[in-house]
Amino acid sequence: MIVPKIAANYIERGDEEAIILEIAKKAGIYPMDYKFNACPVNQIVEEGDEVRVGKYVLKVIETPGHCIGHVCYVLEANNKVNLFAGDVIFYESGNRKEDEFLDYLTEPRQSELQDLLNIILKRGHAKRNEAYQLIKANGTDLLELLKVSSLLRDQSKGKTVTYSRKVFIPLTNMCRNTCSYCTFVKGPDNPDAHIMNPDEVRAKLKQAEASGCKEVLISLGERPELRYEFTKKWLNKLGYKRMVDYVYDICEMVIKETSMIPHTNAGALKVEEIKKLKMVNGSMGMMLESNNPNLSVHRDCPDKHPMVRLNTIRYAGELKVPFTTGILIGIGESLEDRVDSLFDILELHKKYNHIQEIIIQNFRAKKDTKMANSEEPTIWDMVRTIAVCRLIFGRQMNIQAPPNLTPEMHQLFLLAGINDWGGISPVTPDYINPEKPWPNITALNSVCSELGFTLRERLTVYPEYVYDADFNQEVFTKRIYDFIDERKLVKEEWATC
């Protein structure tokens, strides 16, 4: 028993006279047969002392008034101050009884991380130090993390999940970088090294339009003409000195000959190159991948230096291009790197409001690469990163995870807080990951429905930007308006499963 000094003596003696028990019995407060038994005292306390109960430390404050020597206990824990006040009654306060005190100490408590998540849910976003902790969440903390990221997503996006029906045009698979995980890239000695000519592109476009595609993803290796004479000559034969000029003309062809909207990902670009491509693209993109400049997978990859990539994202912001970016996880970066990479993107987005979508992509080990035997991120690693991304960016951001890289985990990605599946093609493979087929859209729709979500088609330009004249080119206005409904998603009559 823990008692104040003045009471220790009569409690140890069981002194009924000292506690005026007879009067209390007559007043009906205690039954007439009640017996006040002597009780050993374990700790005598006074003002300022501390009492330890398990992991909790209670501070003693003296509150004479009810009786001489009466004390209360103050518990500061989980960002709250709790007062165990015995039967002292304070003006305008409730009064906690002893049995409630015991209940409080023995009831299951939320962890500090769960308390933090409640704060983040109210605030709407996580701070950097908080994200460092959350990206390591485990057990019930992880479940709570998923709950909060799902709630944040629901508050803004409701139960709608989107995708873009696209055709993938790999304009060239040559590249001046040599990322250790890439199977897409082909050097000039490889018989599969290629630059698509306009007729090849045209044939794909025709097929795509007939299959209901609305986005043309033009994705290619970065500046191969600066590294390979072979590529330079091939490009010259097509009539170009720079790949970026060829990309421009291909986009123009898409606009002139189809009803679709180009989205170019040509990697790191200079400001004048983005300015030029903006005129013929509904949106553009490039993965940041990681802000860690020392990853061995990016050795000898001049375009993969984080400063180069962050500058590209910055230029896109200055030029008001709706931009898609993201991180690639499992390529040697630390958990803190992931958080920092997302905060780097957030910082630019706060300044320019141009990031339309964040991709969380998981590294997959592929044969015939330097990383063939490297460990892939676990599913929980992926799920935590998606959830933390949602918490960093808050309710509004569109967050996607590629649906073809881990098809068995679609449900978990939904529970982790994504609201988009990115581009899915009914006519072309994912040339970057050709061994991973796109999901069947009808099957994906079923997965979404099972968890209470509705799958809707969107354009390459996200709803947030479709009516914004600063972010859009006039050349796309009519086709955008023709395609979308009042929710700025593709009209049901245009949507194809």
Interface residues toward ligand SF4, by CB under 6 A: 175, 177-179, 182, 184-185, 221-222, 267
> Which residue, 45 or 175, is less far from ligand SF4 as judged by CB?
175
> Which residue, 173 or 472, is less far from ligand SF4 as judged by CB?
173
**Rounded to an integer, what distance in angstroms lies between the CA atom of residue 317 and that of residue 310?**
11
According to the 3-state scheme, what is the secondary structure of 327-381?
EEECCCCCHHHHHHHHHHHHHHHHHHCCEEEEEEEECCCCCCCCCCCCCCCCHHH
CB of 117 to ligand SF4, least distance (A): 35
> Which residue, 286 or 345, is less far from ligand SF4 as judged by CB?
286
Burial class (CB in 10 A: 0-12, 13-18, 19+), 79: exposed
364 CB neighbour count, 10 Å cutoff: 19
CB of 285 to ligand SF4, least distance (A): 13
CB of 208 to ligand SF4, least distance (A): 22
CB of 308 to ligand SF4, least distance (A): 11
CB of 267 to ligand SF4, least distance (A): 6
> Which residue, 179 or 414, is less far from ligand SF4 as judged by CB?
179
**Rounded to an integer, what distance in angstroms lies between the CA atom of residue 470 and that of residue 461?**
13
> Which residue, 209 or 222, is less far from ligand SF4 as judged by CB?
222
> Which residue, 193 or 392, is less far from ligand SF4 as judged by CB?
193
Instruction: Give the chain's radius of gyration (CA, Å).
Output: 32
Please say whether the beta carbons of 213 and 458 come within 8 A: no
How many residues belong to the chain? 497
The token duo for 248 is 């421009």
Please say whether the beta carbons of 184 and 370 come within 8 A: no
CB of 493 to ligand SF4, least distance (A): 37
> Which residue, 184 or 465, is less far from ligand SF4 as judged by CB?
184
Instruction: Calculate the alpha carbon distances from 108 to 142, 402, 415 in Å.
Output: 17, 38, 25
CB of 234 to ligand SF4, least distance (A): 17
